[in-house]
Amino acid sequence: MDQYAPGKTEWEDALIKKNIIEPKKLFTEKEITNIIEDVANNYNSNNDFHDGQQGSSSEELDEDNDEYFQKYKQKKAQDIMMNKNQLFSQVLEITGEDFKGQVSAANPNLYVLVHLYQNSILPCQLINRSMEELSKLHTFNSRFKFVKIISTRCIPNFPDSNLPQVLIYKNGRIFKNNLESVNNKSFDLISIRADLEKILSSESKESSKVSQLSRQSEMETALAFKNFS
C-alpha cells in the first residue's frame, strides 16, 4: 500500500485533507532504484548522441562545421579520460544528463557512490562533507568514485522525505540501494567510512575465495593429467 508524506505545514495538511492538493508519495528503496534506472535509460536513449536534437541522424550533422557536434565530442573525450583515471580525489557534481557517462558507463573496476541530495537538508550536508573527506584518502579514491546530484535534477519532483539517498553502482548496475549508516540515520564520517570499508573487506574475502578455488582447480587438473599420463 502506498505511503504519503505529511504536509510541511499545518496549512498544507489542511489542503491535503480537503483534496485541494495531492500528498507526496513516499517511495520505497526498490521504487527509487527503478525510477533512477528509468531516468538513466531515458537520458541514454534520448540524449546519448543528440542531447536534445532528437530526430536528427548522424548523417545530418556535419562533423567539420557543426559547433555543437565538436563540443559533444570534446565532452565525451573528457568523460572517457576521467573514467580511465583510477583516482577521484574530489566529489563530482553531476546532472541527469551526466548520469550515464559518469555512473552507468564508469570504469567497471570502480564502485560509484551516488548521493541524491538537497542543500537545505542537514543530513545531506553531513554526507557531502563526509564524502569530501573520504575522496581525499587513497584507500577510497582508488576504489570509489564519489558523485553527488541534486535529487530533482535526477528525478523531477523527487520528495525531500526520501532524502538523503546514497546508491552504490558497480559495473553499470546498482550494487547497493543505500548505505547501512544512512538507513540507521548515522551521517557522520566514521559511520560512512565503516560502511565503505565493509564493502572493500567483503570484496577482498570474495576475491581470496575465488583465488583459492582457482588454485585448487589447477592442482586437480594437473593431478588428473599426471595420472592420465
Mean pLDDT by 10 residues, the chain (229 residues): 55 64 65 71 52 48 58 60 60 90 89 95 95 90 92 90 93 89 92 92 66 55 57
- Give a three-class secondary structure readout of 141-200: HCCEEEEEEEHHHHCCCCCHHHCCEEEEEECCEEEECCCHHHHCCCCCHHHHHHHHHHHH
pLDDT attached to residue 49 = 41
Cell output for 168: 552504490
Cα dist from 215 to 205, 208, 227, 228, whole Å: 15, 11, 18, 20
Domain ranges of the chain: 27-50+63-228
Cell output for 60: 545530418
pLDDT attached to residue 156 = 87
CATH number given to 27-50+63-228: 3.40.30.10
Its pTM stands at: 0.60
pLDDT attached to residue 43 = 59
What is the maximal distance between C-alpha atoms in the chain? 86
Taking a C-beta distance cutoff of 8 angstroms, is the pair 27, 162 a contact?
yes
pLDDT attached to residue 194 = 93
As a whole number of Å, the end-to-end CA separation of the chain is 66
Q: Which residue has the cell 583510477?
A: 86
CA atoms of 155 and 157, how far apart (whole Å): 6
Q: What are the start-end ranges of the E strands in the chain? A: 3-5, 24-26, 92-93, 111-117, 144-150, 165-170, 173-176
Beginning with the edge strand found earlier in the chain, give each strand of the sheet holding 92-93 in spatial order.
92-93, 144-150, 111-117, 165-170, 173-176
pLDDT in tens, 93-126: 998 888 988 998 888 889 999 999 999 999 999 9
Identity of the residue numbered 157: N
Closest CA to 16 of 162, 25, 28: 25
pLDDT attached to residue 51 = 42
pLDDT in tens, 158-178: 999 999 999 999 998 999 888
